[in-house]
Amino acid sequence: MTPSKPEILILLQSYRPGFKSGGPIRSISNLVDALGTEFHFRIITQDRDLGDTVPFPGITPNQWVNLGHAEVLYLPSGPSGWYQMWKLLRAVTPETVVYLNSFFNRQFSIFAMLMFWWRLCSPRFLILAPRGEFSPGALQWRTIRKHVYIFLARHLRVYKGVVWHAASELEADNIGRHFNPARQIGAGQSQSVQSLLNQSSSGVVFTAAAIADAVSPGLHSYAGKKPGQLRIVFIGRCSRMKNLVGALRLLHGLEGVISFDIYGPLEDTAYWEECRQVIATLPPNIEVRYRGELEHGKVGSVFAQSHLFLFPTLGENFGHVIAESLAAGCPVLISDQTPWRGLEAAGVGWDIPLADVERFREVLRTCVEAGDDWFAPISRRALGYAVERAANPEVIETNRKLFHGDIGFSGLQVGKLDL
């Protein structure tokens, strides 16, 4: 008899066919595509896209449906959705791995964590991916509420039995500032997940990069570039974390014919009003247009028609949109608050500290003045760089080990904050 595949129960606020929450959907979708033949993925999500008030058309709530290599159940809003979540978590078996994709989301993370803490949900083990929520930029907003919850959760040891999934060493450090879980300090003999968790009261952290979209090394489609002209694009949610206001302010003082196209849901209307006020102060040579929401399937063509992706984000745990820009041959100008580092040395873009505003503007001026002979090679290198990153087999292998529980620590490092 063929043994059944290990079951992974994923809780995620928004999933396909939704697209507005961006990176987490891409991370889970790519994970399912890459490992769906090895694991039995079941996904619990909302019956609507992020911020929408109506469900997806044609979706029947509370019913498992096949979507790619996964089964998906869409929860309705309101009390019935919470009750269904309760029933599903109570039914989790000791052979199942539960995978949460937020730290602060009430229904799709905190609720499950409390049931886990109260032993009302007893999986084989529980993995939590904070998705960048512990970055300094993310913790700037609703600070008191977030820090009170972090303090209580740490003091009460709610997260004692958790395997923290960090998408980069930067994110692992950010998690460690608040919970200081045991850290991987080198490859070695595998230990059981439970034996590792028993050695720390704040869980253990395992670093496994997100799986990027597959990239075809096909024909290079490049948007021609004339000196004195620059087509800039910004793709992302209109929220303070994405720092659209900062991107707009960087345009001040630039000469030449510049267009700046903005794509993404207007998640924070008050913040969008701040953006509009900055736009109103820009000179006539800079044309800013809000292009609306953008389905994932159209992202590549938008990047391919642009000269530069400007994204001074306050923090990303991975940054799928950065990978998509490079895959379309569009160089990137981003902050240093993402795992995408060393871009200038690779000749595919720039990652600059947020405080170094003059360096951002210097790069923008260089891009405006450049012609095809300078820009075309950068575009070709960007595509090659994306192909190389996407084809890295080590990324899939580390994710495979995470879900098998084959973490492979040679030692544990527990710091002073361990309660």
- 268-282 pLDDT, tens digit each: 999 999 999 999 999
Whether the predicted pLDDT of 1 surpasses 60: no
Q: How far, in whole angstroms, is CA 338 from its chain's centroid?
A: 10
Q: Which domains does the chain have, with CATH numbers?
A: 7-213+393-412 (3.40.50.2000), 229-390 (3.40.50.2000)
Q: Which two tokens stand for residue 367?
A: 């891009």
What are the φ/ψ torsions at residue 263 (nearest 5 degrees)?
Answer: -125, 140
Beta strands in 52-176 (DSSP E): 65-67, 70-75, 97-100, 125-128, 162-166
Most confident listed range (10-24, 79-93, 134-148, 204-218):
79-93
Q: Which two tokens stand for residue 275?
A: 């953006």
Mean residue pLDDT of the chain comes to: 89
Q: Per the omega criterion (within 30 degrees of 0), is the bond before 331 cis?
A: no
- The 3-state DSSP class for residue 325 equals helix
pLDDT of residue 195: 63
Report how far apart, in Å, the C-alpha atoms of 397 and of each of 7, 269, 273 are: 18, 41, 44
Whether the predicted pLDDT of 186 surpasses 70: no
Torsion, Cα 288 292 294 295, to 10 degrees, reads -170
Q: Is residue 255 a contact partner of residue 285, using CB atoms and an 8 Å limit?
A: yes
Q: How far, in whole angstroms, is CA 8 from its chain's centroid?
A: 19
Span of 134-143, 181-190, 317-326 with lowest mean pLDDT? 181-190
pTM: 0.87
pLDDT digits (tens, 9 = 90+) for 94-106: 999 999 999 999 9
Q: Is residue 56 a contact partner of residue 47, using CB atoms and an 8 Å limit?
A: yes
Span of 13-17, 191-195, 383-387 with lowest mean pLDDT? 191-195
**CA-based nearest residue to 262, from 230, 239, 298, 234:** 234
- The 3-state DSSP class for residue 161 equals coil
pLDDT digits (tens, 9 = 90+) for 233-256: 999 999 999 999 999 999 999 999
Amino acid at 282: L
